Amino acid sequence: MPECKIPGYTELRALGSGGSGDVVLASHDESGILVAVKYLRGDLLADPGFAAMFRTEAAVLASLDDPNVVRLYEYVESPAGAAIVTEFIDGVSVREILSDQGKTSAEAALVVWQSSLLGLAAAHARGVVHRDYKPENVLVDGAGVSKLTDFGIAARAVDRPVPAGTLAYAPPEQFCGAPAGPAGDVYAATATFYECLTGHPPFTGQTADELLAQHCSEPVPLEPVPGLLRPLVTAGMAKDPADRPGDAAALVSEVRAAAADVYGQDWEDRGRSHLAEAVPLLAALWPSGTPPAVRFAAAAQVNLPRGAQGSRESRQSRHLRHQRHIRHEAHLRRLRMAIAAAAVAGAVLAVLVVSGFSRSLFGPSVRQASAASPSTPPPAAKPHPSAPVTAGSPRSSLPPSACPGCRASATPGYDEYANPRYGFTALWPSSFRAQPPPEDGGRQAWTSPDGQVLLAAYGTNNVLDYSPEQDEAADASLMSVVYVDISGDIVTVSGYKNNGRTIVYERDVVGPGSIDTLYWSYPANQKAQWDAAVTLTALTFQPGNVTTTH
């Protein structure tokens, strides 16, 4: 972790390291909202030119409040360093989707192109040019929504005629060191659209000289492009900037009209659906490697995980997996029966009123901070699920349930649970209702006020001597798996149940004596609402002593 720390935030773990600095996942202390913090490397900060460029990145992002652009919340400088705090995106880059799938559907490519053009249009309206548009700098979340990021070498229009960007997408004028302009961004976005559509960039020269010659003189190969879309690609990648649309906004309406003509009026819905299928659930929770979200120019690559790979099993191991399957299902049935019993008893479950935080949640702001003198954290609305719904509020007639081992925590909006038998600890949203614990003291469950979300933490003795690999196979058999990861003794599995209507997330810590588990189940259409809570509880889940039975 960097030596310079931003007051008002708690760092959770490293996300990656790029050419300009380190990126960490952090939680805003006042609200609990997850953010990405990008620190500038100390040796680079000593270079006035590079420090000014980093400051430019913050200024560019601060000037953009657009749903198609990753939001800047804060920029902080101190004698010890500088950093920007940005929106945390739970997703992957378009580059990773292309690396995993080769290409996207035409509708998905159009959705990415349209969103990027809208984000660029917002930048161009403020005189800001991205200058480094490429698949690595477009992030896609689990809902199939894409956002533009990394203005690391962005420049004010007609400022600094310094060549920059990735050559496969750079406009011809950029090779010559011409001033950056909106037409250059249109060219790069169109080249990326071409790659999404075909599986390769429009020009594939192996050297800079070959690419320069192709960009400057060769026509764009249009054979792979559907007929009605070819005029748009031709216009967007015209050799002369004057022959391209004046800015990204001028191209959006033409893209929409052509897409509707070729693919029907519902092309956007289908495109987002295709993108969402390519994004692994809860990518931010990957316990090893670097999550692909919050991508910066030189961040380490993480390929999209594929489905769980099958392997040969002995008859005994298949039997053990089947036994664990039965035991796990029986446990979940007991949890659900407890929830149902509360409803049958006549309890009136409150409807949780969640308020999405404003896009200007933390600002944008620029502040000077002293490493020894914390500044006041930015104002923030409370994120879901920490809205103050309590048993005593007018919205709920439920009496508080006994929760042995529960106590207040230092994390706003969350309480802490310490299991008396297995010794693990877990955070749970304060607005949730604790379910009556079993007599054996091995588990605790909580439900959202509307009863649709289940969070459970429990321990089981590893009587079948499961390895992490066997544990993963047992968990994966209970859902339609989207993501699986085994990192040491930590097993993470997420996927769908109920024909895709329910998201399930499970994290197990597997030891020779016992297995400690954190389990979430929530409606798929509420993914964006609960992902932050799932991430926070998973990152803070602490196992007990799993080397022994209990």
Phi, psi (degrees; rounded to nearest 5) at 265: -70, -20
Provide the β-strand partners of residue 189: none
- DSSP secondary structure letter of residue 546: T
Across 257-261, 263-267, 319-323, least confident range: 319-323
Each residue's pLDDT tens digit, 299-349: 222 222 223 333 333 334 433 444 444 444 444 444 444 444 443 333 322
Active-site entry in 66, 132, 471, 485: 132
The angle that helices 267-278 and 94-101 make with each other, rounded to 10 degrees, is 80
The structural domains of the chain, ordered by start, are 9-88 (3.30.200.20), 91-283 (1.10.510.10), 315-356+383-540 (3.40.1000.10)
Q: Which two tokens stand for residue 159?
A: 């400022």
Q: Which residue type is seen at 197?
A: L
Each residue's pLDDT tens digit, 479-531: 888 888 888 999 999 888 877 788 999 999 999 999 999 999 999 888 888 98
Q: Which residues 6+ apart lie within 8 Å of 352 measured at CB? A: 384, 385, 387, 389, 431, 448, 449, 450
Q: Which two tokens stand for residue 146?
A: 């894409």
CB 462 within 8 A of CB 515: yes
pLDDT level of residue 463 (50, 70, 90 thresholds): confident
Q: CA 105 to CA 110: how far, in whole Å?
A: 9
Closest C-alpha to 473, from 305, 286, 310, 282? 310
Q: CA 216 to CA 241: how far, in whole Å?
A: 11
Q: How far apart are the first and last CA of the chain?
A: 36
Closest C-alpha to 236, from 212, 256, 252, 259? 252
pLDDT level of residue 123 (50, 70, 90 thresholds): confident
Closest C-alpha to 74, from 359, 367, 358? 367
Give the model's pLDDT for residue 519.
Answer: 94
Q: What is the DSSP string of 416-465?
A: EEE-TTT--EEEEETTSEEPPPPTT--EEEEE-TTS--EEEEEEEE-TT-
Answer yes or no: is pLDDT of 252 > 50: yes
pLDDT level of residue 280 (50, 70, 90 thresholds): low
Instruction: Count helices and strands (H / E) in the chain.
Output: 13, 21
C-alpha dihedral sign at 288, 4, 534, 417: positive
Each residue's pLDDT tens digit, 422-436: 999 999 999 998 887
Comparison of pLDDT for 74 and 263, the residue scoring more: 263
Q: Does residue 90 carry a catalytic annotation? A: no
How large is the average pLDDT for residues 87-107? 87
Provide the β-strand partners of residue 23: 16, 38
Q: CA 194 to CA 224: how far, in whole Å?
A: 9
Q: Which residues 6+ apart lie within 8 Å of 409 measured at CB? A: 415, 416, 427
CA distances from 379 to 74, 78, 296 (A): 11, 20, 26
pTM: 0.55
Q: CA 447 to CA 524: how far, in whole Å?
A: 16
Q: CA 292 to CA 308: how far, in whole Å?
A: 19
